[in-house]
Chains A and B, each alone.
Chain A
């Protein structure tokens, strides 16, 4: 084997390899053909986000639908994680939009504002939304058009590892009336009593839904119905300050002392017993309690009973939407109606998407629930009966805003900027990103 490198040879090899690498980085898709409708091939494409377990239950429900509607052919696809929405945008971009799909809270308006979703009022002859409460139904309305139907409802709640507090002799606070100060005090006691084995809490300072609850407790909100920012820098600064105070008190670990492995219950710091008090999605109570060894108690956010307006909300856990280019919107709407309203069909999907949006369905399901699921159902039911701010669909740009908050909060956590500077920055990015579509 001869290996004689000459200038031209090296240059040649590099040019070829370099060019290949460069060509590879040109990202581009064929411009969307949103205007052209899909050819009707007599089948409905249903896609959703989730794991194989959820897929099995949705498939079972769809099979049941087919028993009474043998003429409708259904094809399916699913994907878990944030990749779901990326897959979705590519399908829309390539003119291959699904007929019936899950939309996220953050993305409903990204799609509806661009005219890619069907106003479900147009198929109201087959899709009956009358059983849903007005608040729930309106959570999918943009400019008077029903672009999404909540496929389930949930909220965020606070959860306490009562087993850990008992172990260290710390009194479990009354979650009906507790304040943010109570949270910090209790948390600091846990940290101290456990000698640093367990941290009291973790203020979810960089998580936008939690900031939203804090803002509403102070009479503000992340955005208004028009999608414009609806908060002041001072309230955000107070949120950041509370985090810094919690670290000072030892109520919560400093920014680099605990790693978040993942969002799943068994990876969470709460589930692993590294932190005693934290916020969880209400409908996930059963899994969190399971990994916590059954010692979990769930209740209101701190400060709810003292606030001028309760900050917690009952929010859609997802939306179901139909593509504006669907070749068969009627059949798609029939499938959707079945998933929302059919006592059997909706029951098969069960609580995987939170509490069913149709109260008749959840009432029918209540008897067969496990004890933990019943706790979650009752909590959401209890919240629904309170005077809560009605959720509006997240404005376009909210996904970018969510990332910005996480990044700004990181800088505050590590002292790279002050809480006042962080709040100021967040106001600025909110003004430039929200409603920018």
Chain B
């Protein structure tokens, strides 16, 4: 990723009138930027119409089979009273607030270990990255079912120590834990980004600190953390958005039921059930917009809070 000030147009000081030549050059630079943005505009155009329709549908009773009828705020009233929806929010928030910090900590921890410069680093990096390529896939969730099932590997190992345990997936108290462990295991993407950031921390800072007698932990807290805080922020925002949108894991692990006892009924899974099984697409659209607002709110809070802990170099 090459990000420099060069690519962005800067405002000239207002007292100096721009010459004809420099204005031309700037326009050419701008053009390049817009060309690079083209694919994004294409995406926006493609999704813009469904986006607007779904906003309209959020205020209708729409069963997919007959034309939607406008019902005003009915869907929103229903959402306020829908205990299953509230349960799905609890499930999703629990998952998000436990799995995101854990997986970021794991990613940072492993990145720090790998950053010490060892032989075969690319190999280790690939191995640690592999789960993130597979984690969201159906096959791995099936594998996880086998590992945590009643007759799975985990219980066999526990059996060696005399611990008798049942299926971790069938039990409403532990099913969420299994999904969180799956999420934490797939820390590869943030790890690779952390690793790149760690490489950018200037060595002379560590050397100066060492001269002052700072120990390892001190150096990590006072130099590494602030220097990579923009990257932590970046990973945090993305992981949070991803976790709030979780669907596949809950769907596959529970065969689409959100069970046992609703313990893996993620918000998106419930939305899907409402829209496609229960023929409440209007309601599902309203739910989609609520999720958008929730995600926007969390992202907004993150951006607001960054001034207290994110350290930018310039």
Interface-located stretch among B123-131, B143-151, B183-191: B143-151
Task: Report yes or no: B53 in contact with A29, Cβ–Cβ below 8 A.
Answer: yes
- With a cutoff of 8 Å between Cβ atoms, the chain A residues found around residue B54 in the complex are 26-28
Task: Report yes or no: B296 in contact with A22, Cβ–Cβ below 8 A.
Answer: yes
* Contact-residue bracket for chain A: 35 or more
Task: Report yes or no: B3 in contact with A3, Cβ–Cβ below 8 A.
Answer: yes
In the complex, B206 has a CB within 8 A of chain A: no
Task: Report yes or no: A29 in contact with B281, Cβ–Cβ below 8 A.
Answer: yes
- With a cutoff of 8 Å between Cβ atoms, the chain A residues found around residue B233 in the complex are 10
- With a cutoff of 8 Å between Cβ atoms, the chain B residues found around residue A400 in the complex are 277-278
Q: Chain B nearest CB: distance from A169 CB in Å?
A: 26
Task: Bits for B20-50, please: 1 = Cβ < 8 Å to A, else 0.
Answer: 0000000000000000000010011001001
- With a cutoff of 8 Å between Cβ atoms, the chain A residues found around residue B275 in the complex are 27
In the bound complex, how far is the Cα of B63 from the Cα of A399, in angstroms?
14
- With a cutoff of 8 Å between Cβ atoms, the chain A residues found around residue B132 in the complex are none
In the complex, B248 has a CB within 8 A of chain A: no
Within 8 A of B (CB), among A16-64: 16-18, 20-35
Nearest neighbor of A19 in chain B, beta-carbon distance: B44
Interface-located stretch among B100-108, B111-119, B164-172, B217-225: B164-172
Interface-located stretch among A156-164, A232-240, A253-261: A253-261
In the complex, B200 has a CB within 8 A of chain A: yes
Q: Chain A nearest CB: distance from B58 CB in Å?
A: 9
Nearest neighbor of B237 in chain A, beta-carbon distance: A14
Given A26-B54, A27-B271, A86-B276, are A4 and B234 also a contact pair (CB < 8 Å)?
no
Task: Bits for A54-97, please: 1 = Cβ < 8 Å to B, else 0.
Answer: 00000000000000000000000000001001100110110000
Most chain A CB inside 10 Å of its own CB: which residue of B51, B173, B273? B51
Q: Chain A nearest CB: distance from B277 CB in Å?
A: 6
- With a cutoff of 8 Å between Cβ atoms, the chain B residues found around residue A33 in the complex are 67
In the complex, B121 has a CB within 8 A of chain A: no
In the complex, A111 has a CB within 8 A of chain B: yes
Given A1-B2, A31-B67, A92-B64, are A25 and B245 also a contact pair (CB < 8 Å)?
yes
Nearest neighbor of A114 in chain B, beta-carbon distance: B65
Interface-located stretch among A128-136, A283-291, A326-334, A410-418: A410-418
Task: Report yes or no: A3 in contact with B65, Cβ–Cβ below 8 A.
Answer: no
Task: Report yes or no: B3 in contact with A4, Cβ–Cβ below 8 A.
Answer: yes
In the bound complex, how far is the Cα of B66 from the Cα of A93, in angstroms?
8
In the complex, A2 has a CB within 8 A of chain B: yes
Task: Report yes or no: A31 in contact with B53, Cβ–Cβ below 8 A.
Answer: yes
In the complex, A110 has a CB within 8 A of chain B: yes
In the bound complex, how far is the Cα of B196 from the Cα of A411, in angstroms?
47
In the complex, A370 has a CB within 8 A of chain B: no
- With a cutoff of 8 Å between Cβ atoms, the chain A residues found around residue B238 in the complex are 14, 17
In the complex, B309 has a CB within 8 A of chain A: no
In the bound complex, how far is the Cα of B277 from the Cα of A110, in angstroms?
10
In the complex, B57 has a CB within 8 A of chain A: yes
In the complex, B258 has a CB within 8 A of chain A: yes
In the complex, B295 has a CB within 8 A of chain A: yes
Task: Report yes or no: A20 in contact with B40, Cβ–Cβ below 8 A.
Answer: yes
In-complex Cβ contact of B150 among A2, A27, A259, A437 (8 A): A259
Within 8 A of A (CB), among B274-298: 275-279, 281, 284-285, 288-289, 291-292, 295-296
In the bound complex, how far is the Cα of B166 from the Cα of A257, in angstroms?
5
Task: Report yes or no: B40 in contact with A90, Cβ–Cβ below 8 A.
Answer: no
Nearest neighbor of A400 in chain B, beta-carbon distance: B278
In the complex, A321 has a CB within 8 A of chain B: no
In the bound complex, how far is the Cα of B276 from the Cα of A419, in angstroms?
31
Most chain B CB inside 10 Å of its own CB: which residue of A6, A28, A90, A110? A28
Task: Report yes or no: B67 in contact with A34, Cβ–Cβ below 8 A.
Answer: yes
Interface-located stretch among B11-19, B90-98, B208-216, B259-267: B259-267
Task: Bits for B62-78, please: 1 = Cβ < 8 Å to A, else 0.
Answer: 11111110000000000
- With a cutoff of 8 Å between Cβ atoms, the chain B residues found around residue A31 in the complex are 53, 57, 62, 67-68
In the complex, A116 has a CB within 8 A of chain B: yes
Task: Report yes or no: B40 in contact with A9, Cβ–Cβ below 8 A.
Answer: no
**7 residue pairs, one from A and one from B, having the closest CB atoms:** A28-B54, A256-B166, A410-B261, A93-B64, A410-B260, A5-B230, A259-B149
Can you list 8 residue pairs at the A/B interface with Cβ under 8 Å? A3-B197, A5-B230, A26-B51, A255-B260, A257-B150, A400-B277, A400-B278, A414-B172
B interface residues (Cβ-Cβ under 8 A, vs A): 1-4, 40, 43-44, 47, 50-51, 53-55, 57, 62-68, 145, 149-151, 166-173, 196-197, 200, 230-231, 233-234, 237-238, 241-242, 245, 256-262, 268, 271, 273, 275-279, 281, 284-285, 288-289, 291-292, 295-296, 299, 303, 310, 312-314
